[in-house]
Structure 1
Amino acid sequence: MTELLARLKDWSYLRKWLVLGALIGVVAGLGAIAFIFALDGASKLLLETIGGYKPPLPVGEGNRLAAGSFARPWAIPLVVGFGGLVSGILVFGFAPEAEGHGTDAAIDAVHHNPRGIRVRVTLIKLFASAATIGSGGSAGREGPTAQISAGFGSFLARRLALSPEDSRIAVAVGIGSGIGAIFRAPLGGAVLGAEILYRDDLEPEALFPSLVASIVGFSIFGAVEGFDPIFGTLRTPQFDHPVQLFYYALLGIAAGLLGRLYARGFYGTVALRHKFPGPDMLKPAVAGVLVGLIGLAFPAALGTGYGWLQRGIHDGLPNTALWVILALPLVKILATSLSIGSGGSGGIFGPGMVIGGFVGLGLWRVLHGVAPGMPDAPAPFMVVGMIACFGSIAHAPLGLMLMVAEMTGSLALLPPAMIAIGLATLVVGDDTIYESQLRSRADSPAHRAAFGLPLLSAVLASDLMTKPRLVLSADVSVAEARDRLDASDVPGAPVVGADGEFVGVLLADGTQARGDVTAGAAADRSYPTVPSDRGLDFALDAMVSAGVGWVPVLNDNRLAGIVAMNEVIAGYQQALRRSLRLLADVSGSSVLVEATVGETSSFAGTTVADAPWPPGSFALSIDRRSQLIAPRPQTDIQSGDVVVAVVPAGVEAELRRRLNGHEMP
């Protein structure tokens, strides 16, 4: 079994992710079950038994619509504060990276360190979040489950020595499958895992693995907790009148404004917390006391708030004053900002949907009976509000639409939801509830080579690999290996077994105080490698992600050579020149010019936009001290630069003279 898993990384995309996706899905389902078990236990002990308050529950979690009164009002602030104290001690005492809502940390790991999520973080996140939410703190459940399954994805990446690309996919798959399982929304969770990483883009390579993992996680979670949608199957009147599109447009604008306030209020609280003196582990307790006091006036502020959403969907809360309904989104923003922004542990996804749901309920209460064509029940407005508010501020409109449809058992509201979330997204702009989101794949370290140096994929690693200066046998002692490394003056060398198979890389740092251990036993088996049939973009990604200057090239798990950073640069320059020549050949009326900028050239000291180009000319590349620059209008041109440009036939000599500094008087 171990050998099979070790070979997984070399399988084809579909085969590999059917297995890895299923493994991540199993952990996502089990992790969600474990968290629900811990959360239910904490809630029954802290909020219900000690605090004397039973919050309402949605259909899929007990269907308890009646909210109990506060048997011991004085205990509520103390209970919520105690939950904050436990959370603060666990987080800041054992795993500070478990602070906050978890999903943002997982997104950051996808972009920058997919192998770096510690197992301890997932365990601390589970118990700290259970203490926060179970005591009445305002938070959601998706952050802990996302971090649990993302942490397992990170563990798999380390254990199986997955490539940087596959490591990132594994963590992204964990995010989507964890959220999909806990919300009983596998399709929406799968799309969310690919969508939530960027503000204006998605990760297509993560879609199929996320779908596999989400379905597996949902199946395991549902087998224990049930498969019914959280809010039951929506049976109230749906979208059935064209004039309602105008009302849904108003809802989208309102949801976008509240979503923007949610993001700014939350991160404003985080910034304020850093300015306050005192131990960080005590701040969630102080914030918990404040949330408890707020909860006495507005019980919907306590816990997840899903039961109150269910009550609103059921009857619109007719006995609750309109001003209270209108205040609930603001109250939930304040309570969540205090509970999580103070350093507590929990998710922000769920509260975002509660805020949007109450925005929809408030607008329905204002318009119902006054505006023509309004639906008779508030459920449609609440569902669309949930989608528009959090879908816009999370920049994940498609995933949220699918998730809420699965959570309510209805697809009928997707048309008005599209209008609402579109307008909400325009209102939100670049604000986001996930600060680790990047704008697009072009901004991600994972794709920077592919987008910034697109021709790298056209050159195979096998085309430019070189013979390593030293190859170590797995059976030599570390002491002998150290001597050979010193004699060859290299920082490390590939290690191969007796059968010629690649074992790993032995670095000079790994040869210290090893005694009689063999090179094979001491070799770093997680050191990145590159298949011989992959492009240089893959090699560059591996080197940058691992912080190394060279990688072994393997052919069927046998050492074929090595590729170093200078070969990658030379390979790109080679591919660029070849492509430019092809471009010039295709365009019969243009020619390619390559010339060095002289010190007296009129080009020296100018920018590409201001340089005296002959009409119809444009720059293609600038080579500056072996650094290849893709020219932009604001790029400066210096003496000594080697400029490659396409010019109309007949003016190439003139441009060459201008670049060299030999202009005609």
Structure 2
Amino acid sequence: MNLSRGTRALLQWLLLGGLVGVVCGVASAVFLYLLEEATHFREGHPWLVYALPVAGLVLGAVYGRWGGPIRGGNNLVLDTVHASDAQVPVRMAPMVLVGTVLTHLFGGSAGREGTAVQMGGSLADLVARRLRVGPDTRRELLAAGIAGGFGSVFGTPVAGAVFGLEVVVVGRMGYEALLPALVASVVGDLVTRGLGIHHTPYPAPGALPLTWGVLAKWLVFAVAVAVVAVVFVELMHRLKKLLEHRVRWLPVRMALGGAAVVVLWKLAGTDDYLGLGVPGILRAFVDPALPVSAFAWKLVFTAVTLAAGLLGGEVTPLFFIGAALGNVLARLLGLPLDLGAAVGMAALFAAAANTPLALSIMAVELLGANVLPHVAIVATVAYLLTGHRGIYPSQRIARLKHGGPLLEKIVALRELAREDRAPPSGPEGRGRG
């Protein structure tokens, strides 16, 4: 009987997870193709950056008219995982795809993971509603959608599956969704690659034995990563709240954000901090003369872009910030330059998104096994030091990072004002992961 039930569950998730993976893979392939075309066109026509305020005004008007239900972005997807009466509208997928491509076409500093996760969540919820599955199955399909979007857009299927579980509740993973998340992420990656999409190859750092001296350097490194992660998270959230309070009308808010990016672009005197910034990431692995301020410039460009409401994600800009920071720290601490950039690239996003396990795996998939155990050490320590904050305020938390009993109920990070003023907790508290 158990074997029969297990077999039925396996077949169900191979089918449902595979279906979610296919739609996520196709969506990611279309998105990545358009994104590459938009980036190349902007690089050949740099005057387009001057039109970013106009693009922001137009995008703001469109989102103000038709995008109300989807403005929550990644946080809407995470909230929907926990609320059976909520849903991710189908319109999210096409609107966020077009909005992100236009943001990059005109030079906004944003990433692609947010778009992939939102498309994956929207399409997975569509599948769940069409098939009229139960609430538990729907919740697991949403996790699969997150995994399928993330894994296919970066070409990291195992990290995508783990991210789809780890990002939902800080410090806890819902293993009931592991199989559908893994199937969706693997299938999504295969479909995206099968449609001719090629992911950026990153340099593979050489091996570095872990010694007491190297460990001490990584601990210092982790503190610096945590500080920068906190600065990014706090700057982005506080700037967003300030703009929403002072500038109520979304089109004007997005136009002002675009104008601010243009000003930053002229002040920096370089195109390096526009768009995804992949060339800057690759440069951080090899250039000992990379400007010390590069990570700070990209941090400000990205915080302004996203806080104003322009479309895109945080991952690739955080990869840039982390790799550039790792380059600087490696020079200061006497670590290999490429390994410092690799560890910084993964650990900064791990700390900002509260996903140290997924990003440690992602580092191996992108950069090779030599990054272990270094990236796991730095990512875990930085994750702990950032406290109860992150780029996704809708992430839930069931137990405080520093330990102790379960909280009486799972709460969103946005509800935790400060670590020392957390909600009451008790040994009997329980919640869904």
TM-score with structure 2 length normalisation?
A: 0.86
C-alpha contact (below 8 Å) 1:198/1:439 kept by paired residues? yes
Q: Secondary structure of the equivalent of 1:358? A: helix
What residue number does 1:283 align with?
A: 253
Correspondent of 1:159 among 120, 130, 143? 130
Q: Which residue of 2 aligns with 1:571?
A: none
Query: Aligned residue for 2:387?
Result: 429
1:41 matched to which residue of 2? 37
Q: Work out whether residues 69 and 89 of structure 2, in 8 Å CA contact, stay in contact via their aligned partners in 1.
A: no
Structure 2 SS opposite 1:316: coil
CA RMSD between the two structures: 2.7
Deviations 1:128-161 (A, max 9, x none): 0111122211111011111112111111121111
* Equivalent residue, structure 2, for 1:399: 358
Letter in 2 for 1:427: L
- Are the equivalent residues in 1 in contact too, given 2:363–2:375 (CA < 8 A)? no
- Counterpart amino acid of 1:138? S
Q: Where does 1:40-439 land on structure 2 (aligned, <5 Å)?
A: 40-45=36-41, 47-51=42-46, 75=47, 77-99=49-71, 102-113=73-84, 116-226=87-197, 230-234=200-204, 236-240=205-209, 242=211, 243-296=213-266, 297=268, 298-313=270-285, 315-316=286-287, 318=289, 320=290, 324-325=291-292, 327-368=293-334, 374-375=335-336, 378-408=337-367, 410-439=368-397
**In the aligned structure 1, how far is the partner of 2:363 from the partner of 2:127?**
30
Secondary structure of residue in 2 paired with 1:412: helix
Shift of 1:182: 0.6
Contact 1:198 1:441 in 2 (8 A): no
Q: Which residue of 2 aligns with 1:27?
A: 23
Deviations 1:629-662 (A, max 9, x none): xxx79xxxxxxxxxxxxxxxxxxxxxxxxxxxxx
Q: Tell me how many residue pairs correspond in the alignment.
A: 400
Distance 1:336 1:301, change over 3 A: same
Deviations 1:26-67 (A, max 9, x none): 01110001111222333344x23432xxxxxxxxxxxxxxxx
**Bigger radius of gyration among the two:** 1
Name the CA distance, whole Å, in 1 between partners of 2:226 and 2:77. 25
Amino acid at match of 1:384: V
Q: What is the rounded CA distance, in whole Å, between the counterparts of 2:396 and 2:117 in structure 1? A: 19
Measure, in 2, the Cα distance between the counterparts of 1:351 and 1:226: 21
Post-superposition offset of 1:195: 0.5
Q: CA deviation at 1:331?
A: 2.0
Return the structure number with greater helix share: 2
1:50 corresponds to which letter in structure 2?
H
Inter-partner Cα distance in structure 1 for 2:58 and 2:254? 9
In the alignment, the residues of structure 1 paired with residue 272 and residue 288 of structure 2 have an alpha-carbon distance, to the nearest angstrom, of 12
> 1:407 offset after TM fit, Å?
1.9
Higher relative CO (CA 8 A, sep ≥ 6), structure 1 or 2? 2
Kindly provide the CA deviation profile for residues 371-421 of structure 1, in whole angstroms up to 9, marking residues without a partner as x: xxx32xx1101111122211122111111111122122x011121112212
Question: Any conservation in 2 of the 1:114–1:171 contact (CA below 8 Å)?
Answer: no
Structure 1 stretches of 4+ moved >4 Å: none
> In the alignment, is the contact (CA less than 8 A) between 2:151 and 2:185 conserved in 1?
yes
Separation in structure 2 between the aligned mates of residue 288 and residue 139 of structure 1, nearest angstrom: 12
The answer to whether the 8 A contact 2:29-2:197 is kept is no
Q: Would you say the 8 A contact 2:168–2:396 is kept in 1? A: yes
Superposed CA deviations along residues 202-234 of structure 1, whole A, max 9, x for unmatched, are 11111111111111110111123445x523351
**Separation in structure 2 between the aligned mates of residue 261 and residue 344 of structure 1, nearest angstrom:** 20
Question: Which one-letter code corresponds to 1:262 in the other structure?
Answer: F
The residue type paired with residue 342 of structure 1 is A
How far apart are residue 431 of structure 1 and its match? 1.4
Paired residue secondary structure (1:300): coil
CA distance in 1 between partners of 2:158 and 2:13 (Å): 17
How many angstroms apart in 2 are the aligned matches of 1:90 and 1:44?
25
Corresponding position of 1:598: none
Rounded to whole Å, the distance in 1 between the matches of 2:323 and 2:197 is 24
- Check conservation: 1:99, 1:345, Cα contact below 8 A: no
Instruction: Call closer, same or farther: CA 1:269–1:209 in 2, change over 3 Å.
Output: same
1:103 is displaced (CA, Å) by: 2.2
Deviation at 1:114, TM superposition (A): 7.0
Over residues 170-189 of structure 1, what are the superposed CA-to-partner deviations in whole Å (9 max), with x where a residue is unaligned?
11110111011010000000
Equivalent position amino acid for 1:281 in 2:
P
CA distance in 2, matches of 1:113, 1:339: 32
Q: Does structure 2 conserve the Cα–Cα contact (< 8 Å) formed by 1:190 and 1:211?
A: yes
Checking the alignment, whether the CA contact within 8 Å between 1:203 and 1:441 is kept in structure 2 is no
Distance 1:245 1:299 in 2: 36
Structure 2 CA distance, aligned partners of 1:127 and 1:330? 28
Residues 331 and 97 of structure 1: is their aligned pair in 2 closer, same or farther, counting only changes over 3 Å?
farther
Q: Distance in 2 between matches of 1:395 and 1:114?
A: 26
Given residue 378 of structure 2, which amino acid in structure 1 is its aligned partner? A
User: What is the alpha-carbon distance in structure 2 between the residues aligned to residue 388 and residue 169 of structure 1?
Assistant: 27
1:332/1:98 CA distance change after superposition, 3 Å = farther
Change in CA separation of 1:263 and 1:27 when aligned onto 2, cut-off 3 Å: same
Are 1:26 and 1:217, in contact at CA under 8 Å, matched by a contact in 2?
yes
Check conservation: 1:81, 1:285, Cα contact below 8 A.
Answer: yes
CA distance in 2, matches of 1:294, 1:97: 31
Contact 1:83 1:134 in 2 (8 A): no
8 Å contact 1:110–1:168 — kept in the other structure? yes
The structure whose residues are more often strand, as a share, is 1
User: 2:92 & 2:375 partners in 1: Cα distance?
Assistant: 36
Over 3 Å counting, the alpha-carbon distance change for 1:85 and 1:225 in structure 2 is: farther
Q: Indicate conservation of the 8 Å contact 2:70/2:88, yes or no.
A: no
**Secondary structure at the residue paired with 2:169?**
coil
